[in-house]
Structure 1
């Protein structure tokens, strides 16, 4: 266990229990500041000095697709936070284990203990099965309330809203065989890839925020004093939260692994908790957790929205960075074979995220079972979507398409 891991666990236990704890005099001041003020540091922390760059190009540098890592013969590697998208490839590649992902957990615990307004947990659709085969959404909601959250909202309901938005945009914009659309929802790595490497395709990307951002903005529109904490399997969501045009939505991002650490430090036995079940999402929104789920959700919604449209929706999907790049290259070379394209940066989709707890195939199985139990198939039948949109001032679907500024962003 590294010195940072030991410091992290001791500080977390102290923060949760209120026990007296003196930070060791030999604790690394930079590591301590990383834990206490993660927003002031890069997404990837270098925990020890790195000598590999002195012998030429480092292995972590070679796997970075976004040019975020540079090396210096004297100082070793450095990571440009403006270029880093949080894919975690460098962390996985580092043979010396000198790189570690950012942790927001200490500020979250402090907020839960001291903030006078409501703090809401927004949990990503991939949560099913992450904390145990028999740990339901109701038990997890009870646990989060015990931790001090005002409530738990499943981000899948906002995936429903974004599914409806993207279906409406497809129906409006795709009017010939030459037209096509790339989804702008869900995966920040996919969007970062298009923005940084394939920006010529941006005109084909409708300016919609992700379900995480939609969720944060919705909660703050309805509860202006609220703080929002997103919980998911992805380090890239921490990068997305920091993007200037959408930084108003989410205050902190925890990974499933960070939440597991917090539950353990709080001595909460999930299996013994009472149920607090309030599923509001359709199967379509829940399916965002795995590769192909977004395109399937939008396709079904388009077909229900306008079953007789002359240009049918034909979807293609890719997952993993190499697969996404291959799909985009097909589009650029004219080999589209589709008109709606979905990309997910992790193999398997969000269930394969680098900060997930369980294997991606097991995660997908759990999500699919949870989705199969949903009362509604798409957002078109989901009364909670309509009710929520009305509370936000959208009286009709047409209003939602034309005036949904809170769910829009401009890609540059």
Structure 2
């Protein structure tokens, strides 16, 4: 059976070769494998984040079926960090002890932050699946998958400014909310708008008092910045209180499950910034080949699944381009204007920016429909 060693000069290159049937899935066998540690939140407070594993496993299967990385199959070593930073650290330490220097995950921002110094200390390389901004002091060997938090909040606020000058924000209490506020306020000023903040706890069951304050101050849109169940409750309460402005949901709900949760109160004013591959329209631009392959192989309408998929393709392309599985060499490649076009993540990483993701194609303003689907606003004009 023929083995095709694919030169991964871009995600589209690999996708096109796989789609053409290159390779016969020949096994590298024995120890001649590319070992990747995967640490995800399969259990814990937000087990949905564990869905990243579904994407990672599907990507590994697709790459292996196409001949692997220079004939070497990928083998994933999976561990559950249960949403606990100490367990995430323990997972990375175990990978290191087993001689595995390449890591995918975690997905929780706090877990990525916890493992970053461990990855650097052990001379490993890590692909963080969280949108949390990467701390320049800690991310010597950590690279982000997907659009970062600063870019996401800035994009959403700028969009809302086109729908009215007074933006209400429901942000979380504590450092997460402080970070949201520090991004949203200058973004609003730059767009000629103002923001009013109200704080919520992720464990809250209602946000009615906060919403009533926002409505009393005449906000024209409400931006909910929380990935907990309170976000769904708050959106429903805003509609029930008669708010007829825009309710913008956080893009962590851009999935089939999120659409299902929101369809009961979708009234034409509930919007979300969704990635291109969830919107049903034919994909365009640099992501086209990656999206088509993803939809052929897995078709999971979920950004978390897509992040896991992209991370493995991202790692495979970096290994192939480097010609080595040595983490230090891979990190050097990734810091040298490394370009990648995937399903959820696309952009260029550099020494100054270990994420380098672009919003184009990743954040598209869309309406949540009563059927639980997403329709890009451009399609409704």
Structure 1 length normalisation: TM-score?
0.26
- Bigger helix fraction: 1
Choose between structure 1 and 2: higher strand proportion: 2
